Each structure stands twice: as structure tokens, then as C-alpha cells.
Amino acid sequence: MLTAEQLNHYHTHGFVVPDYRLGDDVLGSIKAAHGRLITIHPEFRNYCPALLAYDLAFRISPGSLRSWIW
């Protein structure tokens, strides 16, 4: 939920940056999924758009990533 200050910023500037960060456990899961993908498909090391077709973990929202991988 946005705060009153964030809503005011949105109405004034047309955007807002919410105070949200991914937890270390979620970031660790993303790093692990990326490591597995690059091990299997090293040709995609520097080509992010191609990742989605080869590893479904990159299509799942961060909140559900950990439960899907583990």
C-alpha cells in the first residue's frame, strides 16, 4: 500500500518508487537459478531476453520463486 506521501509524489510527478526490496533469500534463489541456467546454456551469459524460454524460474514473480525452485 502506498503512503500519502507516495501518492502525492505520484500525482505530482507521474511515478512513484515504492519502499520495497527483495529479501536475501529471494535474491539467493534468483542467483542460484541463474547459475544453473548459465551452466546448462553458457551461450546466454550476456543475453537476457533469451533466458525466459529456457528456464521458467525467470517467469515467476519473486514472491513465489523460492517455493517453485525448492
Within a domain: 14: no
Within a domain: 15: no
Tell me which residue has cell 534463489: 29
Query: If pLDDT is split at 50, 70 and 90, which confidence band does 20 have?
Result: confident
Yes or no: say if 68 and 30 are a contact pair by the CB < 8 Å rule.
Answer: no
Residue 42's CB is within 10 A of a number of other CB atoms, namely 8
Within a domain: 13: no
Within a domain: 7: no
Within a domain: 6: no
Report the pLDDT value the prediction gives residue 70, as an integer from 0 to 100. Answer: 43
Residue type, 27: L
What total of structural domains would you count in the chain?
Answer: 1
Q: Domain range holding 30?
A: 21-69
Question: Among 6-15, 41-50, 55-64, whose mean pLDDT is lowest?
Answer: 55-64
